[in-house]
Amino acid sequence: MSRFAPVLLVLLLVACQSGPQAQGGLPGFLDRVAPGTGAPQRVAPSAGTPAQTNPQNNIPPAMQQALQQQLPQPASPSLAIETQPLPAAPPLTAPGSPDAIRIGFLAPLSGPNAGLGRALFDAAQLALFDLADNRLVLLPRDTEGNAEKASEAARRVIAEGAQIIIGPLFANEASAVGLIARERNIKVLSFSTDRSVAGGGVYLLGFTPDQQVERVISYARTRGLTRFAALAPDSAYGNAVVQAATVAAQASGAEMLRQDRYPVDSGDLTPTVRRFATALRALPPRGLEEPPVDGVDPNLARPVDGVLLPEGGARLRALAPLLPFFDIDPRAVRFLGTGLWDDPSLSTEPALVGGWYAGPAPEGFAEFARRFEQGFGRRPPRLASLAYDATALVGILARRTDTPTPFDETGLSNPDGFAGYDGIFRFQSDGLVQRGLAVLEIQRRGGGRVIDPAPSSFQVPGN
């Protein structure tokens, strides 16, 4: 059975370790925890109004009493913990206990991104529920989505004894928090995807676009595609994707023949696509000596084999049909995307059907979403699973007995990696995350279907 099968994912994040105990898939579980033996509300709230007097707080009564008796009085009523009643928790470890392991959790719990921030926090609570480790104390603090507030939040959780920090969400926040945490040699697991903030104790959890592009380009090469073009927004994200695609194409012996940009605030993309399509049609034709492209009629004109479109949502649905309108036929030219294509609504755009993109295998998030919805009564946003995996990882590392500092670089940079709801991942010494991604194809119904599975191990076959 796959390490990512739902019955195993419910148990919690697992560490991938080689050894004689391995039983198929990724070698070796660090631990297996039966569900229902703890509660995700194992939280130390901000000081201020007691949790049981907050009318927005529907924490189970047993948990409210435990918080009142064992945890400091709250400092700010800004955090309303939105949970559905779950099985009663075992006795909590008080934050003052020498056995407590304090985890700073920084997210935008108010402001325009509060919905996402609270979903991240709820996912972290769900992981604590599965871990059932009474020593773990979550210290949630509101960053409001800006660097100054994130810095204040970081100072607070560090003063309260946080041994590691999960979050924050945005790159400017992560950069500010990293400076503060570095002074105390505290590691930061940020949800950001901005490579520039990684390193110096800051580790990125987010799905970085360069790895998505490298994966889909590599797969496209195995299917015979050798000539690529890109049409991207003129933004940091678009530029990073195109740069990564160019490097990936060259490394695999392919070519990036054309790169066009369009303003991110452009209302009408028609002139941009017309110029792009005209330029593609002017390229020299594919040589007769080149091998055929898998799945493409050789009689169809194809100025390039693949067009990369690092766009998503309504913007992508507006952009994609303009390409066939200007004779870039998706039956002859494969449209390629990034994780922004992980959107079931894209199935409604005929030009995108058959397009490829890289991302985590969908089964893991589907199981996570089912459990999240059962516990909290709403559908989680796509990023919420990152908070679950990060919290579960911290819980796993907390069980290390080989060091008094379980959250050091040695533990976080385990070369064998870890496995969670979003598949296998490992941190590199520079703070960047490496993930095992699948390649998916847009279907007429239901979004993406896996056409090339995600790897089950970071071990190179034959080694």
Q: Would residue 457 count as lying in a domain?
A: no
Give the model's pLDDT for residue 400. 87
Residue 98: which pLDDT band, with cuts at 50, 70 and 90?
low
Domain count, the chain: 2
Does 286 share its domain with 320? Answer: yes
> Sign of the C-alpha dihedral, residues 361, 366, 372, 378?
positive
Position 294 pLDDT exceeds 70: no
Does 200 share its domain with 216? Answer: no
Inter-residue contact 302 to 286 (CB < 8 Å): yes
Residue 15: which pLDDT band, with cuts at 50, 70 and 90?
very low
- Compute the average pLDDT of residues 203-217: 94
- Compute the average pLDDT of residues 282-303: 63
Question: Residue 168: is the preceding peptide bond cis (ω within 30°)?
Answer: yes
Residue closest to 388 by CA, chosen among 126, 81, 113, 164: 126
Give the model's pLDDT for residue 143. 97
Inter-residue contact 434 to 212 (CB < 8 Å): no
Q: To the nearest whole percent, how much of the chain has pLDDT over 70? A: 74
Give the model's pLDDT for residue 295. 60
Does 316 share its domain with 415? Answer: no
Q: Would residue 459 count as lying in a domain?
A: no
Does 88 share its domain with 181? Answer: yes
- CA distances to 22, 30, 416 from 19, rounded to whole Å, are 6, 11, 11
Measured CA to CA, the distance from residue 201 to residue 184 in angstroms comes to 10
- Condensed to tens digits (0 to 9), the pLDDT of residues 35-83 reads 333 333 344 444 332 232 232 333 333 333 433 333 333 332 233 323 3
Does 394 share its domain with 379? Answer: yes
- Condensed to tens digits (0 to 9), the pLDDT of residues 211-243 reads 999 999 999 999 999 999 999 999 999 999 999
- Compute the average pLDDT of residues 357-373: 95
Q: Lowest mean pLDDT: which of 183-187, 219-223, 294-298, 441-445?
A: 294-298
Q: Would residue 458 count as lying in a domain?
A: no
Does 135 share its domain with 12? Answer: yes
| pTM listed for this prediction | 0.77
Beta partners for residue 419, in sequence order: 14, 424
